[in-house]
């Protein structure tokens, strides 16, 4: 199993793991003053916990799109949520074919990916534009997961999904392609998306708004 690397800007530390999927289970800790807590303080703590969401960032390529995933994860953590990054490049899934899918020795183990997607409250899918559409890594992952179509559709139905890209050509086409794909499988894709590229940095206000919208 290949090592997966996840970089999180928190206390200046880098986190490493040998797992394909690394869960960044980082919660914002609220320090209480010495002495007994008041009812108002306890109520605030309960409210904060109930508003906390578990985000899954799915990045389809390394490089700038992976860096954008780190920004989304860091923003979510700073807002008191949990964040996990799945790097499809690091997973290195074999190309999907019907023959390979029917061979237990050739089919990859994607149980960790399915588990992470199921447990997450919301997904943010981050991918560059490839030939006016989605990159092969993302299409390939969807193809493998959809082999168990009923459970795949159940997992996706109603799931809040945000879309983001860093693309040389602007990224409008990949956003449109991902919106069509994830809407087709039943996800609730929010209207606002994050588009960035060589001449356009990702808008922090857009990232903030997407996190807040998906956490509702």
Distance from C-alpha of 215 to C-alpha of 162, rounded to nearest angstrom: 11
pLDDT at 216: 86
pLDDT at 172: 96
Per-residue pLDDT of 103-133, as tens digits, reads 999 999 999 999 999 999 999 999 999 999 9
Residues of the chain whose pLDDT is less than 50?
1-37, 39, 41-48
Q: Which fold has domain 53-214?
A: Rossmann fold (3.40.50)
Helix (H) or strand (E) run with residue 115 in it: helix 111-119
Both tokens assigned to 60:
């389809």
Q: Helix or strand or coil: residue 41? A: helix
pLDDT at 189: 98
pLDDT at 27: 34
pLDDT at 40: 52
Strand partners, 133: 130
- With tokens 């290195």, the residue in question is 92
* Cα angle for residues 58, 61, 65 (degrees, 5° grid): 75
Distance from C-alpha of 60 to C-alpha of 65, rounded to nearest angstrom: 8
159's CB contacts (< 8 A; 6+ apart) are: 120, 122, 123, 186, 187, 188
Please state whether the predicted TM-score (pTM) of the whole model is above 0.85.
no
């Amino acid at each position: 199993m290949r090592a997966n690397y996840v970089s999180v800007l928190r206390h200046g530390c880098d986190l490493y793991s040998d797992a394909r999927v690394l869960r960044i289970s980082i919660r914002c800790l609220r320090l209480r003053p010495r002495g007994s807590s008041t009812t108002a303080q306890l109520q605030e703590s309960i409210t904060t916990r109930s508003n906390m969401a578990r985000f899954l960032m799915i990045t389809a390529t390394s490089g700038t799109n992976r860096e954008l995933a780190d920004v989304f994860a860091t923003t979510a953590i700073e807002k008191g949520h949990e964040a996990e990054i799945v790097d499809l490049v690091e997973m290195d899934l074999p190309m999907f074919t019907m023959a390979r899918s029917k061979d237990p020795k050739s089919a990859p183990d994607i149980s960790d990916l399915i588990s992470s997607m199921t447990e997450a409250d919301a997904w943010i899918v981050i991918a560059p534009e490839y030939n006016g559409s989605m990159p092969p890594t993302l299409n390939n992952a969807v193809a493998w997961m959809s082999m168990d179509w009923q459970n795949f559709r159940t997992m996706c139905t109603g799931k809040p999904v945000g879309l983001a890209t860093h693309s040389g050509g602007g990224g409008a086409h990949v956003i449109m392609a991902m919106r069509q794909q994830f809407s087709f499988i039943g996800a609730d894709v929010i209207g606002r998306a994050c588009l960035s590229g060589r001449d356009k940095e990702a808008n922090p206000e857009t990232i903030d708004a997407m996190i807040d919208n998906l956490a509702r």
